[in-house]
Amino acid sequence: MRLLPLALSLACLLAACQPASRPPKKAADAVPPQTAAAAPAFAFEEATVADLQARMAAGQLTSHALVQAYLDRIAAIDAAGPALRAVIERNPDALKEADALDAERKAGKVRGPLHGIPVLLKDNIDAVPMANSAGSLALAEHHPKTDAFLVAQLRAAGAVILGKTNLSEWANFRSTRSTSGWSGRGGQTRNPYALDRNPCGSSAGTGTAIAANLATVGIGTETDGSIICPSAVAGLVGLKPTVGLVSRSGIIPISISQDTAGPMTRSVADAAVLLTAIAAADPKDPASAERPASLPTDYTAYLKADALKGARIGVVRKLMGYQPDTDAAMERAIATLKAAGATVVDADIPTLGQWDQDELTVLLYEFKDGLNRYLADSHAPYSSLAALIAFNKAHAAQEMPYFGQELFEQAQAKGPLTDPAYRTARDRIRRLAGPEGIDAALKAQQLDALVAPAMSPAWPTDPINGDHFIGAGYGAAAVARYPSLTVPMGDVHGLPVGIVFIGTAWSEPRLIALGYAFEQASKARTPPRFLPSVVLPDAR
């Protein structure tokens, strides 16, 4: 998802030149009926990678049994029951992949901590044999011939690709009045904590799925907020890496400047395991050339419960003040940081908000260029942004029943990436958000990281008026191309809220250490209960 601070709306990523003559599949309903069905008991509720790996190592569990259990869980509460609509497609080969990995384990070969572990991927990531659609009916039959680079990394690490998750269509870069978590192909994903609330996006399906224990871990993508926001409102850990740490090859793009994929998990430890598997240099991704010579090969080495002792943390209070209950949760989080040994001071990002309009300009230019390249290179059914615009117009009843394609049309009107207006805006936003923004704030008081509330509590889903964003804390890191990590810090009337840790480029090890120490001190995550709505106190 791509959230613009400018209008506090939008979201992140995707693809298509063939006449729009083929009738599309019927679009899914916008909002399912507001009735909740109790979720059945689940044997692997809140299970971590380490828990499951230990059971498989002891011969108490097979990958086949684990995959089957998650598939049954998806059928019971995603397709039926509460009808979360988080999973857009299941991998038909998942059990076959699990069997092959079980055979390897029996033969004495274990690839690592992800061996046999089921992973869900956002539906803008190429993964054979499934479609990669960005939630659009135009690409519902688009089946890439090869895996994305990061998917190949996951398979090499022994992960089982369980399926693909729903998302805000085109990673929420289609309309200025969109509804997060809705796509023409997948319908409306629901927040598992209160089914009438929004899951945020654009990695909506991954957030809901992992929160609801539909897989062990998941992968989301972000341009500006698309990992952090859905993770925060689903009580998850979400890690948005430095651009260049994780490959973007085989991912439907929004922005070559800001796009990245990253872990969405129920614990910091699982995020570290997943990042270790997917962080690798990719010769096809130009951002890989920016990687430092020495990067960690194992991010789990930084899971240190005492990491907050002696740390200096800066609270960006200008990113607070938009919701009093969120502020109260943040103050409790600050107290937890101090009790764990951190020095906490108020901090200021001096350039905050100065990049908003330029960021939109950059994304519009880069979306057109990157999407056209992806569509052509992957031999998609539609080979250009212009063809997708025409498809949406021809099938408006299915694709645009609630909101339009203003961003598509604005991007189509942009010129090439050689335009001086684009280059000037790109260079300015990186400088303002990075060296003159986050780096300046860190250096001013010798800070290890900045913190802020990641996001407000989830808002009611409203397909008529669109999203109701009121504040967020992750935008500077997204524009600077720096890492950010959200960790659950509590709830507001049963709706999760997260704290976001922000650092300079390539500071994932430090953020993981700080986030893990905070997680162990706070123990703030609670599983969802699939309530029909928020239960508010009687104010009479």
List residues with catalytic annotation. 122, 202, 226
Q: If DSSP states are collapsed to H, E and C, what string results for 217-245? A: EEEEEECEECCHHHHHHCCCEEEECCECC
- Any bridge partners for residue 265, and if so which? 237
C-alpha separations of 82 from 86, 190, 441, 521 in Å: 11, 9, 44, 32
Q: How far apart are CA 254 and CA 362, in angstroms?
A: 10
CA angle at 88 for the pair 167 and 475, rounded to the nearest 5°: 15
CB 433 within 8 Å of CB 355: yes
Neighbours of 449 (CB within 10 A): 26
Which uninterrupted H or E stretch holds 450? Answer: strand 449-453
Q: Cis peptide before 202, with omega less than 30 degrees from 0?
A: yes
Which uninterrupted H or E stretch holds 343? Answer: strand 343-347
Q: How far apart are CA 111 and CA 104, in angstroms?
A: 9
Q: How far apart are CA 25 and CA 421, in angstroms?
A: 40
Count how many residues are written for the chain: 540
CB 112 within 8 Å of CB 155: no
CB 413 within 8 Å of CB 471: no
Q: Transcribe 269-312 into DSSP letters.
A: HHHHHHHHHHB---TT-GGGGGS-S---S-GGGG--TTTTTT-E
